[in-house]
A and B are shown apart, each in its own frame.
Chain A
Amino acid sequence: MKPGSSLFIDFEMKFKYEIEGGNFSKAGNASSAVKKILKQLNVPPSIIKKLVVALYEGEVNVVAHAWNGCIRVDIETDRIFVSIEDEGPGIPDIAQAMQEGFSTASQAVREMGFGAGMGLPNMKKNADVLDIRSDVGKGTVVEITTFLKKQE
Chain B
Amino acid sequence: MVVEDIVKALKLNVFGGNEGLLREVTGGYVSDLLSDVMGNALEGDIWATLQTHKNVMAVASLKDVAAVILVKGLKPDEDMLAQANEEGIPVLGSDLETFELAGRLYALINKE
Q: A: which residues have CB within 8 A of B?
A: 24-25, 27-29, 31-32, 35, 49, 52-53, 56-57, 60, 112-114, 116, 118-119, 121-122, 125-126
Contact = CB atoms under 8 A, between A and B. Distances in A.
B59 interface: yes
Contacts of A29: 58
B29 to A, nearest CB: 13
Nearest to A53: B38
Contact of B53 (A31, A52, A112, A116): A112
Contact of B34 (A31, A32, A113): A113
Q: How many residues of B sit at the interface, in one of the four size bands?
A: 20 to 34
B42 to A, nearest CB: 9
B54 interface: yes
Nearest to A25: B54
A60 B38 CA distance: 12
B51 A32 contact: no
B35 A32 contact: no
A61 B48 CA distance: 24
B13 interface: no
B54 A116 contact: no
Contact of B38 (A24, A35, A122): A122
Contacts, number: 62
Given A53-B39, A56-B38, A113-B51, A28 B58 contact: yes
Contact of A122 (B35, B49, B53, B62): B35
B61 interface: yes
Given A27-B58, A28-B55, A32-B58, A122 B39 contact: yes
Contacts of A52: 62-63
A60 B34 CA distance: 10
B33 A118 contact: yes
Contacts of A49: 43
Nearest to A31: B62
Given A53-B38, A116-B35, A28 B51 contact: no
B95 interface: no
B79 interface: yes
B32 interface: yes
B36 interface: yes
A113 B39 contact: no
A124 to B, nearest CB: 11
